[in-house]
Chain A
Amino acid sequence: ELKVEQNPLFLSMQEGKNYTIYCNYSTTSDRLYWYRQDPGKSLESLFVLLSNGAVKQEGRLMASLDTKARLSTLHITAAVHDLSATYFCAGTVYNDMRFGAGTRLTVKP
């Protein structure tokens, strides 16, 4: 069974700073996803990573995947307040999709 662990679980950072969220998974995952969730809302898809070495960027967020290390990272560059949300990673094995516990990000002025 696939297990997904994220860290940190809570992250408070100042605007303009950089930081990385880590996502480790226990077994070979077919795909690795990153999502954003705002309070009381559903999940918004950010990235889908399909192969080793995959890197995707959208605005101030960049996601990467290292399948040998079973590690994905979500890097935040020059954080702004609008990025405050909870970020989840998820992996799939034969369509069995499991989520990490989430990282609650707060960006302060």
Chain B
Amino acid sequence: DGGITQSPKYLFRKEGQNVTLSCEQNLNHDAMYWYRQDPGQGLRLIYYSQIVNDFQKGDIAEGYSVSREKKESFPLTVTSAQKNPTAFYLCASTPMLGSPSSGNTIYFGEGSWLTVV
């Protein structure tokens, strides 16, 4: 079945550590996104990518890094520079605007819970 897979579902980070959240999609979507959601809050855009080897910063990119070496993969690294990383992280993908399937729904992964210990 097609979809987006995020892993791990739960992750604990020690102070000063970098951690990487995985996001893989087999939908052949061009655009991929990372959002952060704090408890009881909305979604804030961290990074997005419209094409391989290219990505743009969102509203809260500081302390995070991404790569897009393959179309199907968009991993997010939470670096030690991110002082308050405890949150729910959501990955999403969509066909590129203007593509034959544009206007279709956006697919979200199941999310990853990151906690600092």
Contacts and interface: CB of A to CB of B under 8 A. Distances in A.
Contact of B50 (A50, A90, A95, A100): A95
A48 B103 contact: yes
A43 B92 CA distance: 10
B42 A43 contact: no
Interface residues of B, number: 26
Given A94-B97, A95-B31, A96-B56, A102 B106 contact: no
18 contacts: A33-B106, A41-B110, A41-B111, A42-B111, A43-B43, A43-B92, A43-B108, A48-B103, A48-B104, A88-B43, A95-B31, A95-B96, A95-B97, A96-B56, A97-B33, A97-B106, A99-B42, A99-B44
A95 B48 CA distance: 8
Interface of A: 30-31, 33, 41-43, 45, 48, 50, 88, 90, 92, 94-102, 104
A30 to B, nearest CB: 6
Given A95-B31, A97-B48, A31 B103 contact: yes
Determine chain A's interface SS by DSSP, over half rule. Answer: strand
Interface of B: 31, 33, 35, 40-45, 48, 50, 56, 58, 90, 92, 94, 96-97, 103-106, 108-111
Q: Which of A42, A98, A104 has the most CB of B within 10 A?
A: A42
B90 A96 contact: no
Contacts of B42: 88, 99-102
A109 B106 CA distance: 33
A99 B97 contact: no
Contacts of B105: 33, 45, 48
B103 A43 contact: no
A5 to B, nearest CB: 10
Contacts of A41: 110-111
A2 B62 CA distance: 20
